[in-house]
Structure formats: C-alpha cells, structure tokens
Chains A and B, each alone.
Chain A
Amino acid sequence: MRPMASGRLLFRFAIGIMQLSAQRFGSVLRAASATHPPVPREAAAEARASRLRDVAIGSLAAIPGAVTELRSLVHARTLRLRRLARRYVRLRSDLPSIPRGLARLELWQARAVEQLDRLAESGQHEQAAGRTLAAGVVKRLIEGGAHEVAESPDLKRVIQEQSQGIAGAALTEIRNRSAQADDAAESLARRILGIRRESPA
C-alpha cells in the first residue's frame, strides 16, 4: 500500500477532529444552552457596540437558509426555461441543432450529478476515515502526554520532596511530642517518689 501524503493526512485529521469535537461537545453545549435561556431581544438590541458582530453572526447563520432558497429558486427558474425550450423544440423540430444542444445539456447535467455523487461519497469516506484517525491520534496524544507527565523527572522530584517534607514534619512532630511526654513522665515520677530535680545531660 502506498503511504498517504502528509497534507492529505492533516486534512483528514482536521475533519476528524472537527467532527469528534462537534459530537462530544455538542451535547454539553446543548445542555448549557438549555440551562442558560437566551437573552431577550430588547436587551441584545441595546448593546450597540456589539451590533456589527451580531450582524456578522446573523449573516453567517442565515447562509444555509439563503443557499436553500437560492437553490429552489434556480431550480424553479431552470424548470420553467426547460419547459419553454421543449415547447420551442416541439414547434421547431425540424431544426437539428436545438435537440442536439438539449441532449448535450442533459449529458452535462448527468455528468455533473455523477461528479457530485462521487464527491459526496468521497466526502463521506473522508469523514469516516478522519474520525477514526482523529480518535486514534487524540488517544495516543493523551496517553503520550500523561506518560510524559508521569515520567517527568522534575515532577518526580517535586513529589518526592513534598512526600519527604510531609513525612519529615510528621516524624518531627511525633518526636517533639514524645520528648514532652518524657519530661511529663519524669516530673510525675519525681513528685511520686520525692526525687529532687537534676539536669539530665
């Protein structure tokens, strides 16, 4: 099997990452938007400074709808044109160039549809491959990162120093308390037995 070019792999990875992100964070975003109700229009309208941004975002959001409308409009117009052309051909069927032109138009249309189908199929394949690639790479990156952090000598040194510091402090506390208990026990014994005080050193 021939190795894939880096640019193609990067493209595939980018598609996969986008799709995975959309899948994984989509539910989180939906939940967040459900818990935070949208700001009322009146309040949003008052923010004049952000009006340009709102317009830009609104335009971007309207693109899919506009494209659909444009498509249906074009479809309707071309349909009318084709009807007119057919009627004209029926009337002037003796002219050979027009049916030939129409046949060529239909051939181009069929080719275009075929090409679009191929592109769509290729796109679906790219998306599936991208998702698989991105999932594998993200997993490897996370594992690699975790391994890198776990094996980091600096982190190990910090943890060791912290542990030693905590253990050492606990040990020192126990030793100091036991030394105080020594003095208390001696003081009690002296009082019971009536022994005079003397420096232990």
Chain B
Amino acid sequence: MSEEVVTAQRAGFMSRFTAFVLDAVILTVALRGATWFVVASDKTLRGFHHLIDPAAIIRALVPALVAVYLTMFWRLFGQTPGKWLMGLKVVRPGGGPLTFGRALLRCAGYLLSALPAYAGFIWILGPRRRGWHDQIAGTQVVYVRRRPVEGARALARAPSA
C-alpha cells in the first residue's frame, strides 16, 4: 500500500512535455470518438431536415473543450490525467491548490506561451523550471511521488511468526 506525496521539487521539461503529449492523445481520442458518434447519429437520422453539420460544431468547439478539460482538471485535482501518469501536480508557490480563476488564467497563459513559436514553454528548461504560463498564473509544477503508508511500513517491520 502506498500514497502519493507532493514534493517541493519543481518538475522539468521532459516530464511536462510527456504529460502534455499524453493529454493531447487523450483529448484527441475523446474528441474523435465524440465526433464519430455524432456523425454516425446524424447519418442515421438523415431522413430529418438537415440544417447543420455536427462535426463542424465539434471542430469549432475544440478550443473551448480543451480549455474546459485543462481548467477543470487543474481546479479539481491539481493534475490532468497526463500529469497524473507522469507524477506531476500544478500547485501554488506555497503548495496549495489552484482556484478556478488561477486555473483559467494558466490556461490563457498557455496561449501566450505558444504564440511566439512556443518560446514560453522553453522557459521551463531554465533553472526555475517555470514557463510563462506558470509565471502569469503564479503556479508551479512539482513532482508527486509514491511512498508506503504508515500501516504498510509497520506491517513490513513486524517480525514474522
């Protein structure tokens, strides 16, 4: 048995990039699946009057859906699924959880970091390991590591009969 503990050490570029790629894969699969489902439903119901292209609506909503995904995961859990897999957590400099406003600001900061040829993300390679979006939102990404819980350790220490 083990529990995940938030460390004070900031995460570096490779971990964060891998987590970003994993999130991108998850989002792509989910959105593709949703698009397929909507298009299939639309084809099935084609006998009705056809006014709109549902796939186009989903494509138009992709930025908003991505923003909702990131903001809600950061606000509720402090980590997206990709960050969870890589053992990372977004926290405030003191270590506390993000507010909704701060999470939204960080999401907007992603855009600013990406605008000048992703230069804002290169800052993560710096000694402070904080991108532009981290500095804008006042956040940091730290490592989360597993450690055995007290009961399990006590059990491990107990002499065998």
Contact residues of A with B, CB < 8 Å? 168, 171-172, 174-175, 178-179, 181-186, 189, 195-201
Contacts and interface: CB of A to CB of B under 8 A. Distances in A.
Contact of B13 (A172, A182, A198): A182
A185 B85 contact: no
A200 B15 contact: no
B90 to A, nearest CB: 16
Q: State the 6 A-B residue pairs at the shortest beta-carbon distance, nearest first.
A: A182-B12, A198-B127, A175-B87, A181-B14, A189-B125, A178-B15
Contacts, number: 62
B12 A200 contact: yes
State which size class the interface on B falls in: 20 to 34
Given A198-B128, A200-B128, A185 B10 contact: no
Given A168-B146, A201-B10, A179 B129 contact: no
B145 interface: yes
Chain B binding site: helix, strand, loop or mixed by DSSP? mixed
Interface in B1-32: 2, 8-15, 18
17 contacts: A168-B2, A171-B85, A171-B146, A172-B87, A172-B146, A174-B86, A175-B86, A178-B86, A178-B87, A181-B15, A182-B14, A185-B125, A186-B13, A186-B127, A195-B127, A199-B127, A200-B129
Given A178-B86, A198-B127, A200-B129, A183 B12 contact: yes
A133 to B, nearest CB: 45
